[in-house]
Every structure is written in structure tokens, then in C-alpha cells.
Amino acid sequence: MDLWAMERELRASGFEAVCGIDEAGRGPLAGPVFAAAAILPPGIVLPGLDDSKKLSAKARERLYGEITEKALAYAIASASHQEIDGLNILNATFLTMNRAFDGLGTQPSIALIDGNRDPKINCRSKCVVGGDGKSASIAAASILAKVARDRHMADMAEKYPQYGFEKHKGYGTKLHFEKLREHGPSEIHRMSFLKSGWPGTAGIMWTAHRPATEPRRAAAGRKRETQIPAPKRGSGARGGRRSPSNT
């Protein structure tokens, strides 16, 4: 499928600045949900661009660097596990999509949103089911959100090494359920998910968070990332190049 066809059609119809929005981490039992928004310039070359779920971790990391370098504007945001428990996962996803959009620092002509639910962002928008495999802008956003969340969960694996977050990123794998039965939930687990009758949750203690170890020190010289409660802004524009504005 031609990932650029939708963008070309929209630009031909007068929508010059097309923004893609996608999320990562709706399904896991622990950690935040992330979202990203990205505006790509016409004619950009991103070899291998595709739905983040179809790419290897190495390919996602490479494309993350290229997208953040070349995008006209991008932003990454998250909603915490507390916000997920308080709002439910759908509304928390809408919240972080809005945070990412607001973090762009520029107003696109239209936003393409992955999925069939409208997060009510402050912009003309279009929902695209399976959009990360149909739109280059959404695919780029999916990669930014996925890589940012995976990096965050790698940091959480250092803080809570007993759960193996570096392997499953908080998803409900066999290993994750085994660790939950052994240690109980951590401070970053989504209690609304764990108590909602998920398969595999039988026998897990819910009475208290039980962090079993102290956080390990990061390796010397390693830059650590932490949870992003507010939008992370960024622009690939260099020199005098300006981000697009709505016309």
C-alpha cells in the first residue's frame, strides 16, 4: 500500500499541513499510555516507514531518529497509570492524544487519527481505521509513541527489576503474570486492568503495592528517561525552516 497516497490527496485538496496522531500502550497491565503527533514535510524520504508493530525494535529506533530529525513538527506525550485508572483507558488515550497535539506548537490543516474514535482535538480531523498502515503521518506518529514508551518501560525495568518490564513492556504475557503472582502489583500497575477479570489474574494479591527492591543505579554516563506527564515538544526544522501553519 502507498503510505503517502492519503497525504497527497489531502494536500491536493488544500490541506497543506497534515498531522498524524497515534498511541502506544493501551493494552498493557502496567505503565502509561503514550501518544505522538507528527507533521511530515512533502517529499520526505523515510526508507522502511511502516506501522510500528510490523517493524523490528532496531528499525523503529532508526526511524525514530530520522523522524525527529526531519519532521516539520512533532510531540510525544503520555497519560499515567493513575490517570488510566481514574479516567479509564479510552479517555486516558484521548487525553494523551490531545496532549501530543497541543505540544506541536503549530496548527496543522488537518489531523489524521488512528482508529475509529474521535479524541476531539482542536483541529479538523479524520479517523482512519488501521491508519498506521495507510498513512505515512500516522505511521510516523506510531513509531514515535512506541519507541518513547518502550524506552520508558526499560527505565521502569531498572526501578522494578523483579517484573521483567524490559522483556514484555507491561503487556499481559505469561512471564508478566508469573511475576505478578510472585511479587504482587507494583506502584505502576494499572489496578483497573488487574481487577477487571483479565485472563491470568487469578491468584494475584491486590491488597498493596509491594516494590520488592530498591531502584538500581543507572550505568555511569547513561542518560535516563522518565515518565512524561506533559507534552514533549520537538521540531525537526533546522536553520530558518519554519513549521507549517494553517492557511
pLDDT in tens, the chain (247 residues): 799 999 999 999 999 999 999 999 999 999 999 999 999 999 899 999 999 999 999 999 999 999 999 999 999 999 999 999 999 999 999 999 999 999 999 999 999 999 999 999 999 999 999 999 999 999 999 999 999 999 999 999 999 999 999 999 999 999 999 999 999 999 999 999 887 555 555 555 554 444 443 333 333 333 333 333 344 444 333 323 333 333 3
Query: Does 93 reside within a domain?
Result: yes
Query: Does 177 reside within a domain?
Result: no
One-letter identity of residue 48 = G
Question: Across 40-165, where does the E strand assignment appear?
Answer: 73-79, 110-114, 125-128
Query: Does 214 reside within a domain?
Result: no
- Please give the span between the terminal C-alpha atoms of the chain, in angstroms, as a whole number: 29
Query: Does 69 reside within a domain?
Result: yes
Rounded Cα distance between 92 and 208, Å, is: 24
Structural domain that includes position 148: 5-154+225-230
Query: Does 24 reside within a domain?
Result: yes
Q: Does the model's pTM come out above 0.85?
A: no
- 136 closest CA partner among 17, 223, 18: 18
Query: Does 99 reside within a domain?
Result: yes
Domain count, the chain: 1
Q: Which helix (H) or strand (E) holds 233?
A: strand 232-234
Q: Is 211 strand, coil or helix?
A: coil
Rounded Cα distance between 224 and 232, Å, is: 15
CATH value at residue 84? 3.30.420.10
Longest dimension (CA), the chain: 59
Sequence-separated (6 or more) residues with CB below 8 Å from residue 165? 30, 31, 153, 154, 156, 157
Query: Does 162 reside within a domain?
Result: no
Locate 183 and state its grid cell. Answer: 511479587
Q: b vs e for 138-167, b when ≥16 Cβ sit within 10 Å of the residue's Cβ?
A: bbbbbbbbbbbbbebbebbbbbbeebbbee
